[in-house]
Amino acid sequence: MSKHSPADQAPIPTAPVPPAHWAASYEEEPSQASTPPQANGMTALKPFGWAKDNLFNTPLNTALTVACLVLLWLVVPPMANWLLLNASWSGSSEACREAAGACWSVIVVKHRLIFFGTYPYDEQWRPFLACALFVAMLGASGVRAFWRPWLAGAWALTLVGMGVLMWGGVAGLTYVPNDRWGGLPITLMLSVFSIALAFPLSILLALGRQSSLPAIRTFCVGFIEAMRGVPLVSVLFMASVMFPLFLPEGVTVDKLLRALAGMTLFTAAYLAEAVRGGLQAIPKGQYEAADALGLGYWQKTMLIVLPQALRIVIPPIVNQFISAFKDTSLVTIVGLYDLLTAATVATTDPEWRPYFAEVYVFAGLMFWIFCFSMSRYSQWLERLANRYTRR
């Protein structure tokens, strides 16, 4: 005898199946709401549609858009006329006085002084070649395909070659002391060397500030706060004026090295705080997982923690790199002629003094080119790091 009643064995009712032509009609006639904008004839009017949706969608946005357009109309045409259309590109100062625009002739006449400072005129091909080698190595170092062990050897040869070119005294080259250097070579060398030396020092300071040893933590905290509490001008002044007073009699330190040391220590303090922020952003589980694998402190730091921390803080690190590059304009306090100081000296010529604005615009353009290149490279590096992290 069955354990189930006939009612229990009745078939379970199912939902009615719509006729086949219903599905066909549904597929052949898509709804108007699901139609993409391109199917509604918006392809040809896409820029106007975007402007209507984003610039003229409300009365306030419409008023702001119109105000910006009026401002651009009042500013851009006169600026273009002064910069390009009515500018004087060659000739003497008399031709500039007759022109209604900018006098770029001052750059043509004074470009050697702006780029190379007081370096001997007949030997200025040497700093030009040194800067070309330096910039070429910086560009090669930014290419991922060149991240090989031989790159370190190439950098060593480049630095030796730069020293031979800038100082001379060998291979028949005239000796030029570094107090005659100036312009772009000083800006590049101070910025790149201070960044390269400050970065590993900042990592040690950031790790030391989180150390469990009181002596190391106190020293790192004191150093970072002391450097961050004073302006760079004060640090350079101490390195230039006060530091030699503590040296034994007869012992001197080159002013270029003193400026480099001051910029390095100052930059390292700010970079250390950026690196510390990345270290604090690492989840605690990463530390515990490394400890579970039996990794030592340095293995855990170098293989697990530090790579993740540096990837997180790429933007603030590059921001500090850009700031260090611009801070080279302050080394004039120790008697060094960086790019901006050399440009200022170029404006002291009475014949070209009325055209100081063009000189400063050109110097600003040089700074912008290098800073913008660093910014774009940091964005590429950040995308590369995120891509490999997702893998």
**Domain CATH number, residue 254:** 1.10.3720.10
Give residue 388's pLDDT.
Answer: 66
In this predicted model, what pLDDT tens digit does every residue of 283-309 receive, in sequence order?
Answer: 888 888 888 888 888 888 888 888 889
Give residue 6's pLDDT.
Answer: 46
Q: How many helices (H) and strands (E) does the chain have?
A: 17, 2
**Cα–Cα distance measured from residue 205 to residue 210, given in angstroms and rounded to the nearest whole number:** 9
| Residue range of the domain that includes 263 | 186-329
Question: What percentage of the chain carries pLDDT values higher than 90?
Answer: 31
Please check the confidence at residue 221 and state whether its pLDDT lies above 90. yes
Residue written as token pair 């070209």: 352
Segment 224-232 long-range contacts (CB within 8 Å, at least 24 positions apart): 224/269, 224/272, 224/273, 226/269, 227/265, 227/266, 227/268, 227/269, 227/270, 228/269, 228/270, 228/273, 232/262, 232/263, 232/266, 232/327, 232/330
Calculate ∠ Cα 181-186-189, nearest 5°.
Answer: 130
Q: Which of 89, 130, 133 is nearest to 111 (CA)?
A: 89
Q: Answer for the pair 182, 116: CB distance below 8 angstroms, yes or no.
A: yes
* SS3 (DSSP) at 294: coil
Whether residue 121 lies inside any domain: the answer is: no
In this predicted model, what pLDDT tens digit does every residue of 26-59 receive, in sequence order?
Answer: 444 444 444 454 444 444 457 778 888 888 888 8
The DSSP-derived string for 124-193 is: THHHHHHHHHHHHHHHHHT-GGG-STHHHHHHHHHHHHHHHHHH--STTPPP--GGG-EEHHHHHHHHHH
Q: Answer for the pair 174, 120: CB distance below 8 angstroms, yes or no.
A: yes
For 87: left if phi > 0, alpha if psi spans -120 to 50, otherwise beta; the answer is: beta
Alpha helices, H only, 55-92: 59-80
Question: What percentage of the chain carries pLDDT values higher than 70?
Answer: 87
Q: Which of 270, 260, 262 is nearest to 190 (CA)?
A: 260
Give residue 1's pLDDT.
Answer: 45
Whether residue 69 lies inside any domain: the answer is: no
In this predicted model, what pLDDT tens digit does every residue of 320-365 receive, in sequence order?
Answer: 999 999 999 888 888 888 899 999 998 888 888 888 889 999 999 9
Whether residue 211 lies inside any domain: the answer is: yes
Average pLDDT over the chain reads 83
Give mean pLDDT, residues 12-24.
48
Over its C-alpha atoms, the chain yields an Rg (Å, rounded) of: 32
**How far from the centroid of its chain's Cα atoms is residue 200's Cα?**
18
Whether residue 228 lies inside any domain: the answer is: yes
Q: Answer for the pair 232, 239: CB distance below 8 angstroms, yes or no.
A: no
In this predicted model, what pLDDT tens digit does every residue of 195-213 receive, in sequence order?
Answer: 999 999 999 999 999 888 8
Contacts with 338 (C-beta within 8 Å, 6 or more apart), sequence order: 182, 183, 186, 187, 190, 328, 329, 331, 332
Neighbours of 236 (CB within 10 A): 24
Whether residue 105 lies inside any domain: the answer is: no
Give residue 390's pLDDT.
Answer: 61
In this predicted model, what pLDDT tens digit does every residue of 74-96 receive, in sequence order?
Answer: 999 999 988 888 888 887 888 88
Give the residue, 10 or 68, on which the prediction is more confident. 68
Q: Which of 70, 82, 164, 176 is nearest to 123 (CA)?
A: 176
Whether residue 275 lies inside any domain: the answer is: yes
Give residue 297's pLDDT.
Answer: 85
- Token pair for residue 346? 């170029």
In this predicted model, what pLDDT tens digit does every residue of 236-282 receive, in sequence order?
Answer: 888 888 777 777 777 777 888 888 999 999 999 999 999 999 999 88
Please check the confidence at residue 7 and state whether its pLDDT lies above 70. no
Give residue 24's pLDDT.
Answer: 43
Whether residue 85 lies inside any domain: the answer is: no
Strands (E) across 260-353 are located at 337-338
Whether residue 59 lies inside any domain: the answer is: no
Number of domains within the chain: 1
Torsion of CA 165, 168, 170, 175, to 10 degrees: 170
